[in-house]
Amino acid sequence: MSTPELLLLGANNPEVAAQARAMMAAGTARIRGFLDNDASKQGRDFHGFTVLGGTADLGRLGSAQVVNVITRDTRTRHSTTLELLRAGARLGQFIHPEVLVDDVELGAGSYLQRAAILQAGVRLGSNVSVSAGAFINHETWLGDSVFVAPGANLCGLVRVGTGVFIGASAVILPRLQLGAWSTIGAGAVVTRDVPAGAIVVGNPARVIGYLELPEETLDDS
């Protein structure tokens, strides 16, 4: 099997460039360069990689697969991936070579950082990002465009809806459901199911508000 060639959307975090170098050294990917829709970054060096253009330039950049490495918030991550798909992109995989994915079902466009732990029976939707030091324990399922921040712990058999944001060091107790587009605050301890669109914080986590649910799915691209 040939080594995939990747373009990475989002020239912001130097850790992304470090992971790109680690993947090239391990022979798991060839990194062609970055994309960024900020015109001031295009044509410039980003930690040893060239910013080749933006989403609109995909047509001239050939057949490389693309991974969205934007992690600002799940709505931005979701909308920019929709742009990629509508521009004809094929989503690749950006997985640190130290991360084990045996017995894990990966959706397209996975971005898994160093020291993320994914146990057997985990299933990821498309466009999912799991940060360094996060634990996704056995048989947990994540929907499309989910973001899991550093140190979060999903304790097993958790069901996570589309677009959920799980903050740093949050703990989700086993067998719970997180509704689509909910937001779990940093350090929250979730002890009961979370409704769609809810913002929850604290220990035990409580609902402090709701956000509007986006209507477009990745299948709409």
Give domain 5-93's CATH number out of 3.40.50.20, 3.40.1160.10, 3.30.70.940, 3.40.50.150. Answer: 3.40.50.20
Confidence of residue 193 (pLDDT cuts 50, 70, 90): very high
Closest listed residue to residue 7, CA positions, set 58, 81, 59, 82:
58
What are the structural domain ranges in the chain?
A: 5-93, 98-203
CATH superfamily of 98-203: Hexapeptide repeat proteins (2.160.10.10)
Would the pLDDT of 134 be above 90?
yes
Q: Is 70 exceeded by the pLDDT of residue 94? A: yes
pLDDT at residue 1 tops 70: no
Cite the active site residues: 138
Chain-centre distance for alpha carbon 147: 5
Q: Is the pLDDT of residue 221 over 70?
A: no
pTM of the model: 0.95
Instruction: Tell me: pLDDT of 220 over 90.
Output: no
Q: Which residue has the higher pLDDT, 220 or 74?
A: 74
The arithmetic mean of pLDDT across residues 82-86, rounded, is 93
Asked whether 65 and 91 are in contact (CB, 8 A), the reply is yes
Strand order in the sheet with 45-46: 45-46, 49-53, 30-35, 5-9, 65-68
Do 68 and 218 touch, CB atoms closer than 8 A? Answer: no
